[in-house]
A = this chain, B = another copy of it.
Amino acid sequence: MPLWKIYHPVNAFSDVDKKGIAQAITSVYQNFMPRFYVGVTFQEVSESNIYIGGEPHSEFIRISIDHIARTFQSVDLKITFFNRINTLLEPWIESRGYDWEMHVDETPFDLWTIQGHFPPQEGTPDERRWMEENRASARTHA
């Protein structure tokens, strides 16, 4: 469900960094949904391919996220989420001197499939089974 796209300067992150970032992000979601819902992708963008305010920016990390499985139910939850993410990512981004920006879009729950299955609703027995088994399977409830 969350699909994270992290656009970053060439060689900003090692493979170890990337796995660490992906695991930090996954930790934010895994108590609320199956771990395998969390997709994180990295894409290098060279300096001549990113402009901020009309100028090339060689030290910029742009994060674009689609939330599908859940929508925020209150302003407090939104603030908590962003503060937690910004804190978690601090060692890889702010501490290294990068500028960064991120935004989330919320897309329709019922326009989403995994392995051809429509994911179960939040809190259902099927969702609990998907969390336990950490994989998609046929639903046993409507």
* A interface list, Cβ under 8 A from B: 3, 7, 15, 18-19, 22-23, 25-27, 30, 34-43, 45, 48-56, 60, 62, 64, 66, 68, 72, 75, 78-79, 82-83, 86, 94, 99-108, 110-116, 118, 134
Closest to A56 in B: B19
Q: Roughly how many angstroms separate A37 CA and B99 CA in the complex, as a whole number?
A: 12
Contact A22 B51 (CB under 8 A): yes
Q: Roughly how many angstroms separate A41 CA and B103 CA in the complex, as a whole number?
A: 15
Contact A3 B64 (CB under 8 A): yes
Q: Roughly how many angstroms separate A75 CA and B142 CA in the complex, as a whole number?
A: 14
Q: Which residues of B contact A25 (CB under 8 A)?
A: 54
